[in-house]
Amino acid sequence: MKKATTTEAKTKEIVKKHGRDKSGLIAILQDIQEEYNYLPKEALSVVGEQLEVPISRIYEVATFYNTFSLNPRGRYLVEVCAGTACHVQGAFNLKDRLQRDLEIECGQTTKDNMFTLEEVRCLGCCSLAPVVRIGGNIHPYLTQNEIPGILRNYRKQG
């Protein structure tokens, strides 16, 4: 099969995969985000046309759920767990440290587009609390002192 290149063609392909079913909207958006790392505006209008769902409803869904982002995100997603188990183990100090070291607030992306910092609620590894997930890798029992080294490593990997 020829690989679709433009956002429009790619989005249509994704919508088709889900059977052009309105109830598949969330799954469709998830696939788009998987593809682009965020939800491009153009893709959302294509989804609207294809599913015959008003764009206002799609915007509603895209902004309601935490995992969707309307802005491009960095190469690595840094997710600080703020679940209860991590909170009682002092995860808030990790968050502050990451904010200081990355010079961004939660929800923002570093200028070099390397890192996007986000807070999540429980990564399901409470036994390893406090944890931070970076680019999909769990960093267990994290301490503030380890953070600079870890970030440096990811930067090196590019």
Partner 1 sequence: MVNFIIDGKKISAAKGTMVLEAARANGIDIPTLCAHEAVSRSGACRLCVVEAKKGKRAKIVTSCLYPVEEGIIIETKNERVLNVRRLVLQLLLARCPESDVIRDLAAQLGVAPQPRFAADKDKSKCILCRSCVRVCEEIVGVSAIGFSCRGADKAVSTPFNEDSAVCIGCGACAFICPTGHIEMETTEETRKIWGRTFKMKACDVCGRYFAPEDQLKYISKKTGVPLKELAVCTNCR
Partner 2 sequence: MKKISTLDDLKKTGDKGLKSLFPSSVKIVVGMATSGIASGAGEVYEALIAEIKKRKLPYVLTKTGSMGMDFIEPLVDVIEKNKPRLSYGKMTADKVPQLIDQIVKGTIDKIKPIYRVDEEDIIAKREKKQYLKGAVPEYLREIPAMYDIPFYEKQVKIATRNCGIIDPENIEEYIARGGYLAAQKALTSLSPAAIVDDVIKSGLKGRGGGGFPTGVKWQSCVAAKGDIKYVICNGDEGDPGAYMDRSVMEGDPHSVIEGMIIGAYAIGAQEGYIYVRNEYPLAVANLTKAISDARSCGLLGKNIFGTNFNFDIKIGKGAGAFVCGESTALMASLEGKAGEPRAKYVHTVEHGLWDRPTNLNNVETWANVPVILARSGKWFSEIGVPHSTGTKVFSLVGKINNIGLVEVPMGIPLKDIIYDIGGGIPGGKKFKAVQTGGPSGGCIPAKMIDLSVDFDALWEAGSMMGSGGMIVMDEKTCMVDLARYFIEFLAAESCGKCTPCREGVRRMNDILHDICDGRGKVGDVEMLESMAKGIADGSLCALGGSAPNPVLSTIKYFREEYDAHINHKHCPAGVCRALIRYEIAAKKCTGCGVCAKKCPSECISGEKKKAHKINQKKCIKCGICMESCKFNAITVE
- Of 94, 92, 102, 97, give the one whose Cα is nearest residue 155: 102
5 binds partner 2 (CB under 8 A): no
- Of 11, 51, 49, give the one whose Cα is nearest residue 33: 11
Question: What does the alpha-carbon distance between residue 42 and residue 145 come to, in Å, rounded to a whole number?
Answer: 42
Identify which of residues 34 and 64 has a Cβ nearer to partner 1 in the complex: 64
Q: Do 74 and 109 contact (CB within 8 A), yes or no?
A: yes
Neighbours of 30 (CB within 10 A): 17
Least Å distance, CB 69 to ligand FES, is 21
Query: What is the helix, strand, coil percentage profile of the chain, to 5?
Result: 50, 10, 35
Paired tokens of 92: 């808030």
Least Å distance, CB 63 to partner 1, is 4
84 binds ligand FES (CB under 6 A): yes
Among 48, 126, 150, 154, binds ligand FES (CB under 6 A): 126
Three-state DSSP class for 120?
Answer: strand
Among 88, 107, 113, 152, binds partner 2 (CB under 8 A): 88
61-80 positions binding partner 1, by CB under 8 A: 63-64, 70
Least Å distance, CB 117 to ligand FES, is 16
117 binds ligand FES (CB under 6 A): no
Chain residues that interact with partner 2, rule: CB under 8 A: 21-27, 29-30, 53, 57, 60-61, 64-68, 82-90, 93, 96-97, 100, 120-129, 131, 138, 140, 143-145
